[in-house]
Amino acid sequence: MSDYLNELNEVQRLAVTTTDGPVLVVAGPGSGKTRVLTYRIAHLIEQGAAPWEILALTFTNKAAREMKERIAGVIGDRARQVWAGTFHSIFARILRAEAEKIGYPSNFTIYDTEDTKSVISAIIKEMNLDKESYNVNTLRSRISSAKSNLITPKLYQDNEELREEDRVNRRPLTYAVYEKYTARCKRSGAMDFDDLLYRLYELLQRNPDGVVDKYRKRFRYLLVDEFQDTNHLQYAIVRKLVNYDHSPRNVCVVGDDAQSIYAFRGATIQNMLDFEADFKPFGIKVFKLEQNYRSTEHIVQSANEVIQFNSRQIQKKIWSDRGEGHRVKIIKTRTDTEEGNRVVDTVLEQKNRYHLRNSDIAILYRTNAQSRIFEEYLRRFNVPYRVFGGMSFYQRKEVKDLIAYLRLAVNPGDEEALRRAINYPKRGIGDATMDKISELAGQSNRRMWDCIAEVETGPRVRTAIGDFVTMMQGFHSRIDKDNAYDLALDIARRSGLVDLLKSDTTMEGIGRLDNVNGLLDGIKTFVEQPPPDPEQETPDTGLAAYLQNIALLTDQDETGDEKDHVTLMSVHSAKGLEFKSVFVVGLEEKLFPSFMSMDSPDGLDEERRLFYVAITRAERYLTLSYSENRYKFGTMRSNEPSRFLSEIPRRHVESTAALQPRREDTDPAPQPSGVSGVFPLKKRAAPPIINIDPKDFKASPADAIQAGMKVLHLKFGEGKVLAVDGGKENRMATIVFDGGDSTERRLMLKFAKLQIL
């Protein structure tokens, strides 16, 4: 037996050496998935397969590169001839050779995100559509989703459910934008990233005897890494390439259904759950890699217990022989600010007690906006850190945009702030106008602000400049009167920044709005808990004092070049990584799990998988934290601890004092699913069919909604308002809808669109 096989445990060895027919490898966290995949390819070549007959599909170029390097370590230079790469790179390579068969030139252009947005923007302008309703990012996301589900422009136009959703969201011509966008790309000989999958499927569908047979013969062996992250279209292509309708070729997919966390990108856990059933007639072999080589027993068993509450899963029991290790530590705090302090205190304690390096430690959060508090305390204690998978909170564009307005309100002479703020959101004051102002300032040796009203422009630009100057002068006049939060909130709204961000309803757009709200919440904290000033009896809570404080906090000098740093990242970014010590923070209902997921069982299942990914990153030490109160939209909100905390058995927790029993009258503790094996989806009761003609529906004013009223919602039907709470701008209604299961929902009234009955 070859040496590389001796490095594998029994199940891994079977997964590597079973080379014929369909194979499903269910790989738990830390179970040696990458080793199995790479050794399987090496074994195929050692057994006589030609390297160019092997196609290995990954999700990142880094994964493909590492795969080839590992294979080369076993079999040498032959590894270079394996077709290993991302779905997009491999499919682009095939399309270059075959594009003419579907009406594209072989040298077609590949559009990136900015190219796509530019084309869509031009179409919106040509069709004279309202930019707020027809938001570019929303349309791009809509078109991408359609392609991933094999919905052509014609099918989209004929799909009444999609059309109704567009009508409700005031973009009824989305299908026409999609149609024009597709035609324009075709005319330009261009494909976007979604087209590299969409058009390949079209190629295989249209040319079954020529192209399909050609690539089925070329790729005798097909392997897919991270199969749980595939979308509907990617799985459809895999089935085409392995001749699913007849006797399939040799296909091996590797993944973990419990780590499927990219539904917002179109990934579907259904592919993982369906694979065994789909290939069962062809003698599929299933191997479960259940030994975890990464984490200690308390961490592994906590993860096992939590994921059991999901109804859709491939049952497995992960185990570890690395000893019991430390129990899970849970930190309960009164406020989010205290949470930041306590977490960083614990980081310092672990470094001293267990001799950990900074790079051994990671702080994971559900949303990027949460990094701010931890960044501030890490800086306060001089702990080097790096925000991974993104930039420092204060370096994010939307945060810098608002800070530019704040700086300009304090100091009209700040020319960099002026350049950033004056035409964002767009006011028609372009670069040419700014160049004229800059030139006049240089000639007269004055500030740009002092020259802004004198520059020669057309009447529309002059009016826009006048309105901007008047607005900023109004802000400046309040510097010594208003506290930092009241003024900053007004600037954020009146500048148009908040409305602009609200118009983008994609996940990225919502994240950017969260970041701006996170900045405002930080200013609120500064006003209510200002840092002490030994020279002043009453602390300064004005905007100028805040900006000085933030400028010191965001000075990157001491951390920029440090290699030994604490890692801050979202849980999504942490997938595939591991650390000796992991902190999962912000474990509160409506934050983790996210409020956006709480309307559906599938959404909650995905949030639980995300939590599972978070806790299985830890090797030795796992710390979970939550805050009883947290700033949200400038208001201190009370929070319930995340349901996920109550799903960890107390025997694995260091101290149960931080755990609070959840109120059984509102949300009884979930019960483990108890299923075993790969199983079909449980059939849930069909949602009630709600037939409401949008023409007859008239939304009532949000401020008219009161507790006790009966209301109508286009999607959820009739309901009764149980309670209304929150400030004027953020009023929330608790409503029970007559949906068979008497579903109770929390809706923000200014967005809810309710009709009083």
Buried b / exposed e over 418-436, threshold 16 CB at 10 Å, is bbbbbbbeebebeeebbee
Pairing of β 732-737 and β 717-725? antiparallel
3-state SS of 606-654 is HHHHHHHHHHCCEEEEEEEEEEEEEEECCEEEECCECHHHHCCCHHHEC
Is pLDDT above 80 for 660?
A: no
* Ordered DSSP codes for 397-417: HHHHHHHHHHHHHH-TT-HHH
567 in Cβ contact with 360 (< 8 Å):
no
Q: How far apart are CA 361 and CA 376, in angstroms?
A: 17
The pLDDT of residue 622: 97
Rounded to whole angstroms, what are the CA distances from 110 to 83, 89, 105, 149, 712?
21, 11, 12, 20, 46
CA 210 to chain CA mean position, Å: 40
- Which residue, chain included where needed, has tokens 């000075």? 555
Neighbours of 559 (CB within 10 A): 18
Is pLDDT above 50 for 688?
A: no
Is pLDDT above 70 for 729?
A: no
579 in Cβ contact with 567 (< 8 Å):
yes
DSSP code, position 675: -
Which has more confidence, 440 or 531?
A: 440
Is pLDDT above 70 for 14?
A: yes
- φ, ψ (nearest 5 deg) of residue 532: -65, 145
Percent of the chain predicted with pLDDT > 70: 89
299 in Cβ contact with 328 (< 8 Å):
yes
- For helices 507-528 and 397-410, give the axis angle rounded to 10 degrees: 40
* Ordered DSSP codes for 482-515: S-HHHHHHHHHHHTSHHHHHHT--SHHHHHHHHH
Helix H or strand E segment including 287 = strand 285-289
- φ, ψ (nearest 5 deg) of residue 753: 55, 80
Is pLDDT above 80 for 655?
A: no
Of 94, 113, 96, 93, which is closest to residue 104 (Cα–Cα)?
A: 96
Q: Where are the beta strands (DSSP E) in 342-493?
A: 361-365, 385-387
Residue 692 confidence class, pLDDT cut points 50, 70, 90: low
DSSP code, position 586: -
Percent of the chain predicted with pLDDT > 90: 35
Q: Which two tokens stand for residue 730?
A: 């953020």
End-to-end CA distance of the chain: 76
pLDDT in tens, 388-429: 865 567 778 898 899 889 988 988 877 778 888 988 888 888
User: What is the average pLDDT across 635-652?
Assistant: 89
User: What is the average pLDDT across 349-367?
Assistant: 94
Is pLDDT above 70 for 152?
A: yes
Pairing of β 755-756 and β 744-748? unpaired
Helix, strand or coil for residue 59? coil
Q: What is the mean pLDDT of the chain?
A: 84
Q: What is the CA radius of gyration of the chain?
A: 28
Helix H or strand E segment including 58 = strand 54-58
- Which residue, chain included where needed, has tokens 């599929």? 284
Of 507, 489, 506, which is closest to residue 498 (Cα–Cα)?
A: 489
- φ, ψ (nearest 5 deg) of residue 711: -135, 165
Q: How far apart are CA 730 and CA 632, in angstroms?
A: 10
Q: Which two tokens stand for residue 671?
A: 């019960």
Is pLDDT above 90 for 634?
A: no
Q: How far apart are CA 8 and CA 198, in angstroms?
A: 38
Q: How far apart are CA 273 and CA 257, in angstroms?
A: 7
The predicted model scores a pTM of 0.71
Give the CA count within 13 Å in the CB-facing half-sphere of 143. 28
User: What is the average pLDDT across 207-236?
Assistant: 89
The pLDDT of residue 274: 85
The pLDDT of residue 81: 84
Q: How far apart are CA 631 and CA 317, in angstroms?
A: 39
Taken in order 534, 539, 544, 550, the sign of the CA dihedral is positive
Q: Looking at this protein, which amino acid is placed at residue 573? A: S
- For helices 371-380 and 543-553, give the axis angle rounded to 10 degrees: 70
Q: Hey, which residues does 25 pair with through a beta bridge?
A: 254, 287
Is pLDDT above 70 for 33?
A: yes
pLDDT in tens, 576-600: 899 999 999 999 998 999 887 777 7
- Which residue, chain included where needed, has tokens 């609070």? 660
As annotated, the active-site residues are 33-34, 225-226, 259, 617
Is pLDDT above 70 for 621?
A: yes
Lowest mean pLDDT of 163-177, 470-484, 653-667, 684-698, name the range: 684-698
pLDDT in tens, 434-484: 888 888 877 887 888 888 888 888 888 889 999 999 999 999 999 988 999
Q: How far apart are CA 111 and CA 117, in angstroms?
A: 10
Is pLDDT above 70 for 680?
A: no
The pLDDT of residue 251: 92
Residue 92 confidence class, pLDDT cut points 50, 70, 90: confident
